[in-house]
Structure 1
Amino acid sequence: MEAKSDRLNDDSKDAWSKVLYKRQPFPDNYVHTGKFLEEMRKNVNTKIYTFGQISSAACMVSHQLSSVMVFVIAFCYMSYGWLQPSMLLLLILPLVVIGYVAFRYLDCSNSWEHYRSDMKLSGLVVCYSYGLSPVLMTLTQSVSTDTIYSMTCVMLLAHLLVHDYGTGASAPMVSPAISMNAAVFAGVCLASRLSSSWHTFVTLTCGIALLVFLPLLRQQLADAFCAGHIFLAVPFFIISTILLWTVSAVAVTLFVLLQVTVVLICPYLYCRMQCYKNNIHGPWDEALPDTRAAPQTPDEVLFDHHASSHHSTAHMSKTK
């Protein structure tokens, strides 16, 4: 009798089905011991990246580091008197025009409305920057230079941390608004240490062009061409390295080591550590409803057609 009851219990457990709409002689928290681990899956949605893909994506970070370094070097050159602000502005303007034309060409938006709105926005930025330059120059006059430089470093670091490197604004720790505001604030801090309002205006213009407008063109290149952003990352790395060499040999050594770490060492380590990924999925996960409509078979389509025809015929008969 005991063997027969055990066999009946086993049969009843085998008849258990994982549904909610069916009344079953089992408690709500019942789990079939034989099928629980059979439904476990590992690394279902895990994507394995190659070293080339990771290194190419890291070039986004490399380019932004180079842009920040070029901006800081431009400030150092004007602060030391090695570069006049008018000369820097003459260097920036043609590059901004070329970059804007390339951006509009890649964006496939060459209508007159886009040009007019962009010119209006650019005019407002230039007018506000030029008009507020005397105020911005004296805004932090009572603050010590060491504090200004510390605040600039913090703002540039925040700009790099929350910058959008092509992942989208929905990614964690990504905020284009905070990144832009941090870059502008860093430009204001550095501009306040220069000798004239004209220096302040050129510094702000340089910062906006390098840290706000140039990433937009980089993203368009990355979307239009496979690894198109590398065409900006490599020249900027070379230019920033050469310019930084004229300022400090120690700084250029640290900068090159940082770039090598970002572009080569970190992608290599990430590529090697991908084999240790072990994401498990099973019955214990939260249920996610599948809202996608299943494709209909030809029989279902024919049945729906006959049903709709019958419904329309009945409706016409009732109307008559």
Structure 2
Amino acid sequence: MKQYEFWPMVKSTAVIIQQISVMAIFFVRTRACCMQARAHGCCRAAGRAKDDPGGCVLAVPTLCVRAGAWVRALQLIFALVHQQSVSVWAIGGVNVAVLTVLFAWLRFSGPRFYSPTLLPHIPMVVKYTCIFLAVVFALAPILQTLTQSYCNDTIWAQTIMLSAIHICFHEYHATTSTSAYVVSPARVCQAACASVDLLATRMHAARPHARCLPALLCSVSGAISLNAAIFAAALLASRLPSTIHVFVFVCLAIQLFALFPLFRDYIRIRSEGAHMAVTAMCVIATLGLLLWLSSTLLAIVYASGMAFIAFVCPLWLMSARMYKNEMQGPWDIASVREFST
């Protein structure tokens, strides 16, 4: 029977706390957008909408596939943008500086975090990111009027249901090998040889540097979780007053639900200390946002829930272990005992 230890189990809850914090930041950002729209007199029912000059603060970090965690730091200056005490160009400069620091950290942090195979893919990432941003910006007017005939209660009920699906079906285990994030021609050749489809073999041969997606995006559970989160983001974005709100909000959803898990797994399989530091940053940033843009009651509920998950649930599981019965029979794999002669 497997033996459980308290502190390793507490550390294993960090990924759950991070994902719940991401969902909390997502909802707080939704409320912040609505509050800012009301403060500026935006009203969709009357057909008036004013662009959000501070909304583009979240567009620049999308240029890096592992910058999802830094969006939490950028959220802390949203209130200053809301008060129009900081210019958009200053916020854009902060974003560029954050990305520069992030790439410098990946480059000079040593072999644990940096791999030389990552550097050639930066132009490709920038290229496809620009294409993605153009597509999202073109679809923003459609998303804005997607649920115009539905009431707000229906939208919020569906969003809460989809958020619960996202939390339940999310892939919380990281890949067991760091090679999933490093391009290797040998791995691509093996995959091509194992494929029975001639077209797939040609695709691997034509693009030997194709990046292998982690299990989060390949498994059925991860796909259900990601689609539920993006659909919830589309529903909430349809209630925003302007297309620039929708564009920025969808970009934020992609960062939080699609890119941040990649960054989290990338850090988790390389350094336990960095993984715990990211968890602490998520909790502190979420508490700060709840206290700044929402209410003290929600911050207390969030802190209590995270403490319950991190400390009470492991103790609960350890105390329930005494009621577990391990049945053995002929269906088990035979174990051969060695006898000394």
**What's the TM-score bracket when you normalise by the shorter of the two chains?**
0.5 to 0.7
1:139 corresponds in structure 2 to 146
Q: Describe the superposition over 1:93-118 as per-residue Cα deviations: whole angstroms up to 9, x where unpaired.
A: 35363697367883625355422332
Residue 174 of structure 1 deviates from its aligned partner by 6.7
CA separation in 2, counterparts of 1:177 and 1:107? 28
TM-score (norm 2): 0.63
Aligned residue number for residue 65 of structure 1: 20
Q: Where does residue 263 of structure 2 map in the other structure?
A: 217
Q: Does 1:257 align with 2:304?
A: yes
* 1:50 paired residue number: 5
Deviations 1:36-72 (A, max 9, x none): xxxxxxx3xxx32211111111111111111111111
**Contact in 1 for aligned 2:58/2:248 (Cα 8 Å):** no
The aligned runs of 1:96-175 (5 Å cut-off) are 97=99, 101=103, 106=113, 108=115, 110-111=117-118, 113-166=120-173, 169=215, 175=221
- Contact 2:163-2:228 within 8 A present in 1 as well: yes
Q: Report the CA distance between 1:229 and its aligned residue.
A: 1.9
Residues 11-56 of structure 1, C-alpha deviations (whole Å, 9 max, x = no match): xxxxxxxxxxxxxxxxxxxxxxxxxxxxxxxx3xxx3221111111
* 1:227 Cα offset (Å): 4.7
Query: Aligned partners of 1:195, 1:203: CA distance in 2, in Å?
Result: 12
Pick the aligned partner of 1:87 from 54, 74, 88.
Answer: 54
Residue in 1 aligned with 2:203?
none
**CA gap 1:264/1:215 in 2 versus in 1, 3 angstroms:** same
Query: Which of 316, 320, 326 matches 1:273?
Result: 320
| CA offsets 1:216-237 (integer angstroms, 9 cap, x no match) | 1111111001253211111111
Q: Which amino acid counterpart does residue 226 of structure 2 have in structure 1?
A: M
Aligned-partner Cα distance in 2 for 1:99–1:266: 37
Structure 1 unmatched ranges of 5 or more: 1-42, 291-320
How many Å apart are 1:86 and its aligned residue? 4.1
CA contact (8 A) 2:58 2:251 kept: no
Superposed CA deviations along residues 218-258 of structure 1, whole A, max 9, x for unmatched, are 11111001253211111111111121123123322222221
Q: Which segment is superposed worse, 174-183 or 257-266?
A: 174-183
Map residues 277-296 of structure 1 onto 2, 5 A cutoff.
Answer: 277-282=324-329, 284-285=330-331
Report deviation, 1:269. Answer: 1.0
Q: 1:118/1:208 Cα in 2 relative to 1: closer, same or farther (>3 Å)? A: same
Structure 2: give runs of 5+ residues left out of the alignment. 41-50, 62-69, 72-98, 176-214, 337-341
C-alpha root-mean-square deviation of aligned residues, in Å?
2.9
Greater gyration radius: 1
Number of positions where the alignment pairs a residue of Structure 1 with one of Structure 2 = 242
1: CA distance, partners of 2:106 / 2:132: 19
Calculate the TM-score normalised by the size of structure 1.
0.67
Shift in Å, 1:276: 3.8
- Aligned equivalents of 2:52 and 2:16: distance in 1? 28
SS class of match (1:224): coil
1:88 Cα offset (Å): 4.3
Partners of 1:160 and 1:136 lie apart in 2 by 24
Structure 1 CA distance for aligned equivalents of residues 331 and 101 of structure 2: 49
Query: What do residues 177-211 of structure 1 show as CA deviations (whole Å, max 9, x unaligned)?
Result: 11111111111111111100000000001111112
Determine if the alignment matches structure 1 residue 74 to structure 2 residue 81. no
Instruction: Give the letter aligned to residue 327 of structure 2.
Output: I
**Residue 272 (structure 2) aligned to one of 226, 236, 239:** 226
Alignment-derived partner of residue 244 in structure 2: 198
Distance 1:274 1:209 in 2: 38
**CA deviation string 1:134-166 (max 9, x = no partner):** 000001101111111111111111111111112
> Contact conserved, 1:241 with 1:256, CA < 8 A, in 2?
yes
Amino acid across the alignment from 1:89 = C
1:241 is the counterpart of 2:287: yes
